[in-house]
Amino acid sequence: MVLNEKTFSAAAWAEAVSIVKAEFLPALWDTLYITLLSTLIAAIIALPLGVLLAAGGKNGVLRVPEPVLKVLGFVINVLRSVPFLILIILVIPFTRLLLGTAVGNNSFIVSLVVAAFPFITRLFEASIRGVDPGVIEAAKSIGASPRQIVTKVLLPEAFPSLLSDVTIALTTVLGYTAMSAAVGGTGLGSLAINVGFYRYKFLVMLFAVILLIVLVQLFQSVGTFLSKKADKRRKGGGA
């Protein structure tokens, strides 16, 4: 894309404003739908896996066979190492089997979930491992079962950190949504690429990028606020 005087001409601005009015609201909705739903599904998958990896093993709260943990860790590491664009292609057969099609926003959500849950699993694992061992030992000393320790100690203690992890995941997944055009999806990223880049509408691409930055800041601010509030409640410093 070559920038020149025509890029910022009155005609270019008028055309960009027209496209923004017609297409940005649906694109924004699609971006939020894709980002929030895929992150939610990925987090639901990642939470039990993070618990297993953090609390399992020989000296862990849960008795999980070591080979199971090694295989699980290997699979997660492999999925995390595959570039996202390549992962989209690799997941196409599974997506077609699951949904009957490999095109569209729902198909793209499948790819996002596959890409996001290993990343979120590692975040959750680190947060749960960060729980004070003294709290765990205190729970053991009063006869708490492994299930009780996980549900009443580990998860509540790690909850503020888990909220921060979800915030990180949201902003990361939001960045991935720019690749939705690869499978015929929609959203701000697709609009920026298909209209802004391929059709040489620089202002449209600029508007899309600015709105994506605003969304990242919004997600980060809300996530940080909720995490701090949860931490204060856990420590008894808030209502």
- Range in 39-53, 112-126, 216-230 the model is least confident about: 216-230
Give the largest CA-CA distance in the chain: 75
Identify the pLDDT of residue 35. Answer: 93
Q: How confident is the model at residue 8 (pLDDT cuts 50, 70, 90)?
A: low
Distance of CA 207 to the CA centre of its chain: 23
The two three-digit tokens of residue 176, written as one number: 């991935």
pLDDT at 65 over 80: yes
- For 28, 78, 98, 116, the CA distances from 119, given in Å and listed in that order, are 25, 11, 22, 5
Nearest to 108 by CA among 211, 166, 30: 30
DSSP state of 183: G
Give the Cα separation of 192 and 206 in Å (integer).
Answer: 8
- How does pLDDT run across 167-226, given as a tens digit for each residue? 999 999 998 887 877 677 788 888 888 787 777 788 888 888 888 899 999 999 998 998
| Residue 17 in this model has a pLDDT that exceeds 60 | yes
Report the first-to-last Cα separation within the chain, whole angstroms: 54
Average pLDDT score over residue span 37-66? 90
Closest among 120, 189, 105 to 161, alpha carbons compared = 120
Quote the DSSP letter at residue 216. H
What pLDDT is attached to residue 120? Answer: 96
pLDDT band at 13 (very low <50, low <70, confident <90, very high): confident
Which residues lie below 8 Å from residue 11, measured CB to CB, with a gap of 6+?
Answer: none
Q: Which distant-in-sequence residues (6+ apart) come within 8 Å of 139 by Cβ?
A: 148, 149, 152, 153
Q: Could you tell me if 116 and 177 are in contact, meaning their C-beta atoms sit under 8 angstroms apart?
A: no
Q: Write down the pLDDT at residue 239.
A: 42
Highest mean pLDDT pick, 39-48, 89-98, 215-224: 39-48
- Which of 79, 153, 163, 165 minimizes the C-alpha distance to 126? 165
Question: Is the CB of residue 145 less than 8 Å from the CB of residue 119?
Answer: no
What is the distance between the alpha carbons of residues 44 and 186, in angstroms, rounded to a whole number?
A: 24
- Residue 73's nearest CA partner among 2, 35, 121 is 121
Question: What is the model's pLDDT at position 9?
Answer: 76
Check pLDDT > 60 for residue 44. Answer: yes
Taking domain 10-234, whether its CATH number is 1.10.3720.10 is answered by yes
* Banded pLDDT at 112 (limits 50, 70, 90): very high
17: DSSP letter = H
Burial class from Cβ neighbours inside 10 Å (0-12, 13-18, 19+) for residue 196 reads buried
